[in-house]
Amino acid sequence: MSTTNGLAVDTGHDLVIETTALRKEFRTRKGQTRVAVQGLDLAVPAGGVHGFLGPNGSGKTTTIRMLLGLARATSGTMRLFGRPVPDELPAVVGRVGAVVESPKFSPNLTGRQNLLLLSRSIGAPDTRVDEAVETVGLTGRDGDRFRSYSLGMKQRLAIAATLLKDPALLILDEPTNGLDPAGIREIRDTIRDLGERGVTVLLSSHILAEVQQVCTSATIIGNGRLLASGTVADLLAGGAAYRVDVAAPDAARRLLEAAGHPTSPGPDERSFLVETEEPAEVTRLLGEAGIWLEGLSAQRQDLESYFLELTAADTLGQTGQTSMGGAA
Ligand SMILES: Nc1ncnc2c1ncn2[C@@H]1O[C@H](COP(=O)(O)OP(=O)(O)OP(=O)(O)O)[C@@H](O)[C@H]1O
């Protein structure tokens, strides 16, 4: 856990981002209160890529803006590297890179010239520009004018700009929005690479596949509230299911249900699904009852179905601030 004495202690066990009971209310033009973030506890460990996943309008951008001091929290506390923010933001901001809104680059300058201007303005050595260009895969294209860049290249240049100060934490708000599949792949590779180099990345996204493919851990929010958090493996482990093929599925289901393994209908009449962490136990129980397996296969639960399950349950009975938006 982070220290509470105001001193940042960078051990591997520290939380790089921590929010407690974070709340943000907006006043609408009609004078009503819109709660964008309601009691959010966010805990992002050091190292790796952490997904910040939620449907459109679930409060991701608002949370990030509060963390960066761009919006004021209504209540709750926030810490970056163990330091309370926004009060002590100046002490940590040098270690935080963020791409939240489209950064401004000069269209007539090359990507490299743009980066050099930025690096000199923060007193970073010019060699940092070469490293950043290489990290985001723009080597060879950094001499082209910014205005000739594709959207994906512009986005990679934005990430390169944040790398100039060699951040320990990188916050990326929906970095693949508007990109084509090739652009998405390039950004994804860049992010994965950064995570492997030891940068802690907070990747906000409403695209499940993106988080599943790139992230080591994730927080899922809906309606500004925490729905689930943990390593991607742990988040998926809850739903371990196996497809069972047998000649007599009804008898087999009754038996497994009685032994505490929930079942559900399968894709055809000679199969069903069983939720269990112990497939060998399923084999044994059925074999002892003289029911012989014709097939037993793991059904990979993906983050998407888990996410949809969680957010669907979350919106049941609510007035419906949350909606699943399509991929942008
Ligand atoms: N300045 C504002 N004034 C009023 N309401 C706002 C303001 N900014 C955000 N909201 C509302 O707060 C809620 C959360 O919005 P936010 O942009 O944080 O969600 P998000 O998860 O980042 O969504 P997206 O994936 O679409 O970017 C939404 O209902 C949004 O309309």
CA 328, CA 326: separation in Å to the nearest integer? 6
Which of 25, 62, 324 for mutating ligand 1's site (highest number of atoms within 8 Å of CB)?
62
Ligand 1 center–CA 21 separation, angstroms: 18
Pair 80, 154 in one domain:
yes
Residue nearest to atom 18 of ligand 1 (CA): 59
Contacts 24+ apart (CB under 8 A), 45-48: 45/13, 45/14, 45/15, 45/16, 45/200, 45/217, 46/10, 46/11, 46/12, 46/13, 46/14, 46/15, 46/16, 46/200, 47/12, 47/195, 47/198, 47/200, 48/195, 48/200, 48/201, 48/215, 48/216, 48/217
Please check whether residue 260 lies inside any domain of the structure: yes
Q: Which residues are near ligand 1 (CB < 6 Å)?
A: 26, 34, 36, 54, 56-62, 174, 206, 321
Same-domain check for residues 205 and 281? no
226 bridge partner residues: 221
Which of 210, 236, 262 terminates a domain? The answer is: 236
Q: How far is the C-alpha of 154 from the C-alpha of 162, rounded, in Å? A: 13
Residue nearest to atom 31 of ligand 1 (CA): 57
Question: Which residues make Cβ contacts (< 8 Å) with residue 90, sequence separation at least 6?
Answer: none
Domain shared by 162 and 94, yes or no: yes
The answer to whether residue 161 sits within a structural domain is: yes
Q: Which of 236, 253, 276 is the last residue of a domain?
A: 236
Q: Of 236, 252, 275, which closes a domain?
A: 236
Nearest CA to ligand 1 atom 1: 26
Distance CA 314, CA 294 (A): 38
In this structure, are 144 and 270 located in the same domain?
no
Q: 100 and 173, same structural domain?
A: yes
Instruction: Compute CA distances 49 → 84, 132, 202, whole Å.
Output: 22, 18, 6
**Domain membership of residue 57 as a residue range:** 15-236
**Which CATH number characterizes residue 64's domain?**
3.40.50.300
Ligand 1, atom 12, lies closest to the CA of 36
Q: Given the structure tokens 């049941």, which residue do they identify?
A: 316
CA gap 149, 232 in Å, rounded: 34
- CATH for 254: 3.30.70.100
The answer on 200 and 267 residing in a single domain is no
Whether 153 and 44 map to the same domain: the answer is yes
- Whether residues 28 and 164 fall in one domain: yes
Are 113 and 225 contained in the same domain? yes
DSSP state of 74: S
Q: Is 130 helix (H, G, I), strand (E, B) or coil?
A: helix
Q: Closest by alpha carbon to 315, among 116, 56, 124?
A: 56
ipTM score of complex: 0.95
Residue 309, in any domain of the structure = no
pTM: 0.75
pLDDT of the chain, 328 residues: tens digit per residue:
333 333 333 444 589 999 999 999 999 888 899 999 999 999 999 999 999 998 888 899 999 999 999 999 999 999 999 999 999 999 999 899 998 877 789 999 999 999 999 999 988 899 999 999 998 889 999 999 999 998 888 988 999 999 998 899 999 998 888 778 888 888 888 899 889 888 999 999 887 777 888 999 999 898 888 988 888 877 766 556 788 999 999 999 999 999 998 888 877 889 898 888 888 999 999 999 999 999 998 775 566 666 766 666 655 434 333 322 333 2
114 C-alpha vs ligand 1 centroid, how far in Å?
31
- Tell whether 144 is covered by a domain: yes
102 & 22 share domain: yes
Q: Is residue 3 part of a domain?
A: no
Residue 226 lies in a domain: yes
The total of structural domains in the chain comes to 2
Strand, coil or helix: what is 13?
coil
Domain shared by 209 and 284, yes or no: no
Render the burial of 140-178: b for 16+ CB within 10 Å, e for the rest: ebbeeebeebeebbbbbbbbbbbbbbebbbbbbbbbbee
Residue 81 Rama label (left phi>0; alpha psi -120 to 50; beta): left
Domain contains 93: yes
- Residue nearest to ligand 1 atom 24, measured at CA: 56
CA 128-133-138 angle, to 5 degrees, is 175
Q: Please tell me whether residues 187 and 276 are part of one structural domain.
A: no
Task: State in Å: Cα 78 to ligand 1 middle.
Answer: 19
Our mutation pick for probing the ligand 1 site, out of 24, 25, 26, 221, counting the most ligand atoms within 8 A of Cβ, is 26
> What is the pLDDT, as a whole number, of residue 240?
67
Residue 308 lies in a domain: no
